[in-house]
């Protein structure tokens, strides 16, 4: 059993609404570097049109492809198709009703996402690990009626219990789920303490003492699964938590939205350091020409401050004591140990978080990579 | 994102734990004796002089070495509380300055517990007077202290390190800090307690040594050094256990310095303990 701790955060009021920013004028559809395109410049694409031969890449909006350009994502620079929105919302498929889904539909979808066919209780992980990030929770909150209906269908078809896991600090979602869950006897709600790393499926299964082959889905995955079952394509939109000094916002965006489109709700990045995907496991990014893709679940703006210098190691063993997988980060400077440790390391950054001398253990892992 | 506590909080915890000990030292070796007309007003201030001069020397050394002044003040005070009241007050500051300076330079090249070696060499300043740890009341036995008084600290030893009660209170205060190496203090205290108890029973000697406050002071403040220790919890437990064991044996012959000598000797083997423990880590990974 791994050792888990709670990360202390400041209380910031949570909004009840999600800001919809899916009506963007243009998007950049990020292409893998070896993508073979099936469309040309000035081609017209519908929502869900395939644009690539060797990857299942579909257009999230209908409109004209105006150019192929290089853009910045949080993972580096990539080529992208610039598509201008015609706001016609032309789709390639009509949505399929959840009630009409068959076992075959589910098997195809599970196969598409490389998911195992459930043979033990299914876990729905709506827990966000990162402080100030509530994206997984808001996925569930934003569309809980449909998700519950889908989960009930899966539970009935595979005759398995579905356990929805939420943090006790998400009362709004808990209340909403409780109003409907009584209608679905095979669905269970599990309210868990706000412990760091429960958002990781492997850790959550260990915590719940469930067998490791159990199927565990995050809510963003569930969103994709629902979209695939209904429209035969992955969800074209995604949720993003934006945390500034004073408030938290939730925004629904299309995959490939340029950051400029959020200018009206974002603070000036000149005054802040911006972290993508959380303060613990995420990293600092530049917002210049950034295109927001599904790889990103949060943007956290923190005031620019000088980070404390690394001090002399106290040999206090706090890093090895806090490591959930029992590694000794003090030995990361040993290349043999580091190469072995990288296989076990969860990259949770707890060692750097706890170190009283501000030693950045993450640098060893990054160097190795 | 970082945990709210850092090494600065550890320094604060050490200072907080030391304050009652230092106040008691002044009361036991100064005020109490003065109120009973055993010493003069000037002699009453001797413990305060030692505290003040230690702070000044700590500050001065840190300034010259461009090092963390809080660490140097803390180390000077920890050492000061454990020296004899009869230490030569003119030689003490000079010797402390030289020892702090040299040990700091040496510690960058080899691994050892600095405070223990400084404390051992400070005996030189005591030898210039008489090698004696008793104050005037303890020497003449005017108060006839009982066992409970001794538990409170009214017994011979360092200026402020004799109170087992205050040392245990300090251990509790320090244990609230995540970065305090309580494994060392606890394992050393426990192994010392058991071994010295067994030795006392086997040799039919008095049990006094088992409850000597100044020995536990060394375990709580000097063995659990802020920087120098094994780097794993298992290593700390082994380190503390050996210190306690060796202290129980050496204290039979060196009542006042046995524990601190043990700490110094065992600290020389920290790299070996680390290698042994890390082998286990390398295998398990």
Query: Closest to B1 (Cβ–Cβ): which among A314, A316, A353?
Result: A353
* Residue B52 in tokens: 């003040």
Q: How far apart are CA B40 and CA B115, in angstroms?
A: 32
* Chain-centre distance for alpha carbon A78: 20
What number of helices (H) and strands (E) belong to chain A? 10, 16
A5 interfaces chain B, CB cutoff of 8 Å: no
Q: Kindly determine whether residue B1 and residue A357, on different chains, have CB atoms separated by under 8 Å.
A: no
CB-based contact A223:A137 (threshold 8 Å) = no
* Alpha-carbon distances of A169 from A128, A172, B32, rounded to whole Å: 11, 9, 56
Q: How far apart are CA A13 and CA A362, in angstroms?
A: 31
Query: Closest to B226 (Cβ–Cβ): which among A280, A314, A320?
Result: A314
The 10 Å Cβ neighbour count of residue A335 is 10
Q: Kindly determine whether residue A337 and residue B228, on different chains, have CB atoms separated by under 8 Å.
A: no
- pLDDT per residue rounded down to tens, chain A (369 residues): 677 888 888 887 777 778 888 888 899 998 888 888 888 888 888 888 888 888 888 888 889 999 888 998 988 888 999 999 888 776 666 788 888 889 999 999 999 888 888 788 899 999 999 999 999 999 998 889 999 999 999 999 999 899 999 999 888 899 999 999 999 999 999 999 999 999 998 899 989 888 777 889 999 999 999 999 988 888 888 999 999 888 888 999 998 999 999 888 888 777 888 999 999 999 888 888 899 999 899 999 998 887 788 888 999 999 999 998 888 898 888 888 888 888 888 889 999 999 999 998 888 887 545
Conformational region of residue A326, where left means phi above 0, alpha means psi within -120 to 50, and beta covers everything else = left
Query: Closest to B10 (Cβ–Cβ): which among A308, A337, A356?
Result: A356
Evaluate the CA torsion angle B130, B135, B141, B144 in order and state its sign. negative
Q: How far apart are CA A72 and CA A68, in angstroms?
A: 13
**For A308, which DSSP code?**
P
Per-residue pLDDT tens digits for B79-131: 999 999 999 999 999 999 999 999 988 887 788 899 999 999 999 888 887 88
How much is the pLDDT for B82? 93
Distance from CA of B81 to the nearest CA of A (A): 23
Chain A CB contacts of B228 under 8 Å are: 315
A330 interfaces chain B, CB cutoff of 8 Å: yes
* Chain-centre distance for alpha carbon A282: 12
Q: How far apart are CA A347 and CA A282, in angstroms?
A: 10
**For B198, which DSSP code?**
H
Burial readout A282-304 (b: 16 or more C-beta within 10 A, e: otherwise): beebebeebbbbbebbbbbbbee
- Counting one residue from chain A and one from chain B, the pairs whose CB atoms sit within 8 A come to 75
A311 interfaces chain B, CB cutoff of 8 Å: yes
Q: Which residue in chain B is spatially nearest to A332 when comparing CA positions?
A: B282
The 10 Å Cβ neighbour count of residue A13 is 8
Chain B CB contacts of A313 under 8 Å are: 227, 231
Q: Which residue in chain A is spatially nearest to B180 when comparing CA positions?
A: A316
Kindly report each contact of residues A112-119 with a partner whose C-beta sits within 8 Å and lies 24 or more positions away, as own/partner. Answer: A112/A228, A113/A221, A113/A224, A113/A225, A113/A228, A115/A215, A115/A217, A116/A213, A116/A215, A117/A158, A118/A154, A118/A158, A118/A160, A118/A214, A118/A215, A119/A158, A119/A160, A119/A213
Classify strands A283-285 and A298-303 as parallel, antiparallel or unpaired: unpaired
How much is the pLDDT for B189? 96
Q: Kindly determine whether residue B3 and residue A321, on different chains, have CB atoms separated by under 8 Å.
A: no
Q: How far apart are CA B50 and CA B82, in angstroms?
A: 11
**For B220, which DSSP code?**
I
CB-based contact A15:A79 (threshold 8 Å) = no
Three-class secondary structure assignment of A336-352:
HHHHHHHHHCCCCCHHH
Chain B CB contacts of A344 under 8 Å are: 285
Q: What size, in residues, is chain A? A: 369
Give residues 107 to 136 of A whose Cβ lies within 8 Å of B. 131
Evaluate the CA torsion angle B273, B231, B237, B264 in order and state its sign. positive
Per-residue pLDDT tens digits for B151-161: 899 988 899 99
* Alpha-carbon distances of B88 from A27, B119, B129, B136, rounded to whole Å: 81, 14, 6, 16
Q: Kindly determine whether residue B285 and residue A344, on different chains, have CB atoms separated by under 8 Å.
A: yes
Q: Kindly determine whether residue A326 and residue B229, on different chains, have CB atoms separated by under 8 Å.
A: no
Give the residue numbers in B contacting A (CB under 8 Å), as ranges.
1-7, 9-10, 178-181, 226-233, 235-236, 278, 281-282, 284-285
Q: How far apart are CA A177 and CA A188, in angstroms?
A: 10
Q: Kindly determine whether residue B282 and residue A318, on different chains, have CB atoms separated by under 8 Å.
A: no
A68 interfaces chain B, CB cutoff of 8 Å: no
A360 interfaces chain B, CB cutoff of 8 Å: no
ipTM: 0.87
Chain A CB contacts of B276 under 8 Å are: none
pTM for the structure as a whole: 0.86
Classify strands A257-258 and A291-292 as parallel, antiparallel or unpaired: antiparallel
Alpha carbons within 13 A on the beta-carbon side of B81 = 34
Q: What is the DSSP string of A32-88?
A: -TT--BS--TT-EE-BT-B-BSSS--B-SS-EEEEEEEEEEETTEEEEEEEEEE-S-
Phi, psi of B231 (to 5 degrees): -95, 5
Chain B CB contacts of A7 under 8 Å are: 1
State which H helix or E strand residue A285 sits in.
strand A283-285
Query: Closest to B179 (Cβ–Cβ): which among A312, A320, A356?
Result: A356
Query: Closest to B179 (Cβ–Cβ): which among A280, A318, A341?
Result: A318
Phi, psi of B76 (to 5 degrees): -60, -40
What value does the mean pLDDT of chain B take? Answer: 91
A351 interfaces chain B, CB cutoff of 8 Å: no
């Amino acid at each position: 059993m791994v050792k888990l701790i709670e990360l202390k955060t400041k209380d910031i009021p949570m909004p009840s609404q999600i800001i919809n920013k899916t009506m963007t004028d243009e998007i950049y559809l990020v292409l893998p570097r070896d993508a073979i395109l099936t469309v040309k410049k000035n081609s017209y694409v519908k929502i869900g049109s395939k644009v690539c031969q060797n990857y299942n890449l579909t257009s999230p909006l209908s409109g004209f492809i105006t150019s192929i350009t290089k853009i910045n994502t949080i993972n580096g620079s990539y080529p992208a198709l610039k598509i201008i929105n015609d706001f016609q919302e032309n789709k390639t498929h009509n949505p399929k009703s959840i009630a009409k889904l068959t076992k075959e539909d589910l098997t195809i979808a599970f196969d598409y996402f490389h998911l195992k066919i459930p043979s033990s209780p299914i876990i729905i992980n709506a827990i966000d690990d990162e402080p100030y990030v509530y994206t997984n929770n808001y996925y569930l909150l934003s569309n809980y009626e449909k998700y519950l209906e889908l989960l009930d269908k899966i539970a009935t078809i595979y005759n398995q219990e579905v356990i929805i896991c939420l943090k006790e600090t998400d009362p709004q979602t808990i209340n909403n789920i409780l109003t409907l869950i009584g209608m679905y006897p095979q669905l269970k709600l599990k309210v868990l303490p706000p412990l760091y790393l429960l958002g990781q499926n492997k850790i959550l299964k260990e915590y719940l003492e469930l067998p490791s082959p159990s199927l565990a889905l995050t809510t963003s995955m569930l969103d994709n699964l629902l979209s695939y079952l209904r429209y035969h394509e992955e969800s074209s939109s995604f949720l993003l938590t934006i945390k500034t000094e004073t408030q938290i916002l939730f925004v629904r965006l299309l995959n490939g939205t340029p950051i400029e489109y959020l200018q009206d709700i974002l603070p000036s990045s000149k005054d802040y350091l911006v972290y993508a995907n959380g303060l613990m496991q995420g990293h600092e990014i530049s917002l210049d020409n950034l295109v927001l893709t599904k790889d990103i679940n949060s943007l956290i703006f923190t005031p620019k401050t000088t980070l404390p210098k690394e001090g002399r190691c106290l040999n206090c063993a706090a890093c090895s004591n806090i490591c959930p997988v029992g590694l000794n980060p003090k030995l990361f400077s040993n290349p043999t140990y580091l190469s072995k440790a990288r296989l076990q390391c969860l990259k949770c950054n707890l060692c750097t978080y706890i170190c009283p001398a501000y030693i950045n253990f993450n640098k060893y892992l990054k160097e190795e990579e | 994102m970082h945990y709210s506590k850092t090494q600065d909080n550890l320094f604060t915890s050490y200072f907080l734990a030391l304050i009652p000990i230092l106040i008691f030292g002044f009361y036991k070796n100064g005020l109490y004796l003065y109120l009973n007309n055993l010493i003069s007003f000037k002699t009453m201030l001797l413990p305060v002089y030692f505290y003040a001069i230690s702070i000044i020397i700590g500050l001065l050394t840190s300034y010259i070495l461009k090092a963390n002044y809080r660490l140097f003040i803390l180390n000077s005070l920890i050492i000061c509380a454990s020296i004899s009241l009869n230490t030569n007050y003119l030689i003490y500051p000079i010797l402390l300055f030289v020892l702090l300076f040299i040990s700091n330079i040496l510690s960058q090249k080899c691994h050892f517990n600095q405070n223990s070696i400084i404390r051992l060499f400070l005996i030189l300043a005591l030898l210039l007077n008489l090698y004696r740890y008793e104050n005037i009341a303890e020497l003449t036995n005017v108060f006839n202290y009982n066992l409970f008084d001794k538990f409170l600290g009214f017994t011979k030893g360092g200026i402020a390190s004799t109170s087992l009660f205050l040392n245990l209170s300090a251990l509790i205060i320090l244990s609230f800090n995540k970065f305090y190496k309580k494994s060392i203090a606890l394992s050393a205290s426990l192994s010392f307690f058991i071994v010295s108890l067994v030795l006392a029973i086997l040799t039919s000697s008095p049990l006094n040594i088992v409850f000597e406050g100044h020995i536990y002071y060394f375990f709580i403040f000097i063995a659990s050094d802020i920087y120098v220790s094994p780097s794993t919890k298992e290593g700390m437990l082994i380190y503390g256990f050996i210190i306690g064991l060796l202290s129980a044996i050496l204290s039979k012959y060196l009542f006042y310095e046995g524990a601190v000598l043990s700490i110094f000797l065992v600290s020389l083997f920290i790299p070996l303990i680390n290698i042994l423990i890390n082998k286990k880590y390398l295998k398990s990974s």
